Amino acid sequence: MASKNKNQKKISPQGQILYVIHRLIEFIARCIFSLSAYIRGPKEGQPPINDLTLLHSATTLAFKIRNKQLTSEQVVKSYIERIKEIQSILNCVVEDRFEEALLEAKKCDEMLESPNAPSAKVLAKEKPFLGVPFTTKDCIAIKNMKQTAGLVLRKNYVSKEDAEVIRLMREAGAIPLATTNVSEIAMWWETHNRLYGTTKNPYNTRHIVGGSSGGEGCIQAAAGSPLGIGSDIGGSIRMPCFFNGIFGHKPSKGIVSNDGQYPSAHSEDQNQLLGIGPMCRFAQDMKPILKILADKNADKLNLDDKVDISKLKFYYMEDDGGQYLVSPVSEEIKCAMRKVLLHFEKVYKIKPTKIQVRKFKKSASLWLANMTSKGEQDFSYELANRKGRINIWWEFIKWLMFLSNHTLIALITAAFERLGIKHGSEQYTKLIQESRDLNQEFQDILGKDGIFLYPTHPTAAPFHHEPLVKPFNFSYTAIINVLGLPATACPLGLNKEGLPIGIQVIGGLYQDNLTLTVAEEIEKAFGGWVPISIIA
């Protein structure tokens, strides 16, 4: 494999000391959280998948429904029963609309049986997901359903309208089934809040599902929904996909409407970081879903064009180059990436190029700078449901007395932000300029035919609450939000502990078709989603 830009900065003595201290803290914390998980009891087993309807891709279900090989009612009932089986174990769903979904499914079936029903060919074009149920995270509005974003102060808030992406999915014939759990105000990479509690990993309930779209990643992996819609401002689609062993896609910036997502962006810079996209078990579902979500912008992506993989240029990095306070990438993840590179080298005669992007060592700082808001619109403002700001220090006292409505990490985040980068400061200006320089660097590298392979996360799913001691590990996904590039999370099987691992596939701006095509090839070569258990 070729190499490019090999020169790396030597780590200073202070940096080496910091690295050792951080690794020691991680090791001790790992032992404590492991012991805590053991004390709480054994991992809970999952009900086997004994309804083979649950093993079809969303596009296959749509095909079978419009061709009358399955009824929508049968499919919706199958997924309702599956959710009822897994919910008490995994806690992934926060609100359902089972009765309404069944009524909508029956209407769909009645329409298909009517003498004036459109042909299957017409339906495939006009309503490509007719009769297929779907789920979405509790940050994306569904009319007449709660939209809490995991915040106690929003526990009674009911959406008056569908988010734009939900409207588009309904227009395509899909049926909303339920909303899924998120981290508090969608700003942490473990799905836990004081309103609905903690969501557990279907492969091992002692471990996290990621965040903020963690409930969605969980329900997809457990075969509780054929497709899902998530949102991603720093990795909130890709990390849950990685931890739960499914596919997910963060689109190019500005392609999918963010209308109806809460919390909404406070500035155009934040809006450019945020992307709504598909989460699903099968790679083939992502393009047709993205085509619907992108609506009028879909033409920019050329999703119907055939991609010749042999003509693509592949670049990769196995880690971020040694960012402080970020865990090293596990050898199993590096090994999985090498296998992917070897596959494309052998099958398509592609010579991958290893690159070293020095600015990736500042990934967390660059993302934090781009997330910074003007004035008083900080995280303590969000925790107050945008009505004033919480008193952080008083909330810490309340938390110690088990009286706070907020999670510990939400309070830490609010305090950290208060002491962090200030909008308009010299440090802020410098980091924003570095972000622009990095953007140009990647445009030059990737162009319209480049693919960049990069870890989605340095480790497989940690134990519950373990992210507290490794908060900046999210930077592997966050830096791609800064760049605004399309990124597809691809599962690559299970590690030796039985937990999912994978990588993210990144392309140039608006080259979503390339990353999704590569994801489909990776699924063919390496198997994709691993069902937890099946009874034929």
Tokens 């699903």, residue located: 280
Supply 264's token pair: 């909404």
Other residues' Cβ atoms within 10 Å of the Cβ of residue 116: 5
Backbone angles phi, psi at 260, to 5 degrees: 95, 0
Residue pointed to by tokens 């959280």: 33
Q: Which residue reads 């995994």 in tokens?
A: 90
Distance CA 57, CA 192 (A): 29
Phi, psi of 405 (to 5 degrees): -85, 5
Pick the closest to residue 343 from 27, 1, 94 (CA basis).
1
Query: 251: Cβ–Cβ under 8 A, 6 or more apart, which residues?
Result: 275, 276, 277, 290, 293, 294, 301, 486, 512
Q: Does the annotation count 363 as an active-site position?
A: no
Query: And the tokens for 152?
Result: 């106690």
How far apart CA 37 and CA 215 sit, in angstroms, is 20
456, 239 contact by CB (below 8 A): yes
User: How far is CA 534 from each of CA 23, 70, 223, 314, 530, rounded to the nearest angstrom?
Assistant: 39, 21, 11, 36, 10
Dist. CA 112–CA 147, nearest whole Å: 33
Q: Is 311 a catalytic residue?
A: no
List the Cα angle 368/442/507 in 5-degree steps.
95
- Collect all residues with Cβ–Cβ distance below 8 Å to 159 and sequence separation of at least 6: 141, 142, 143, 144, 145, 146, 147, 260
Close Cβ partners of 342 (under 8 Å, ≥ 6 residues apart): none
Which of the following is catalytic: 213, 236, 404, 435? 236
Examine the residue annotation and report whether 231 is marked as an active-site residue of this protein. no
Shortest CA distance to 249 belongs to which of 279, 271, 288?
Answer: 279
Q: Give me the catalytic one of 137, 253, 287, 359.
A: 137
* List 212, 257, 404, 475, catalytic entry: 212
Catalytic positions, please? 137, 212, 236
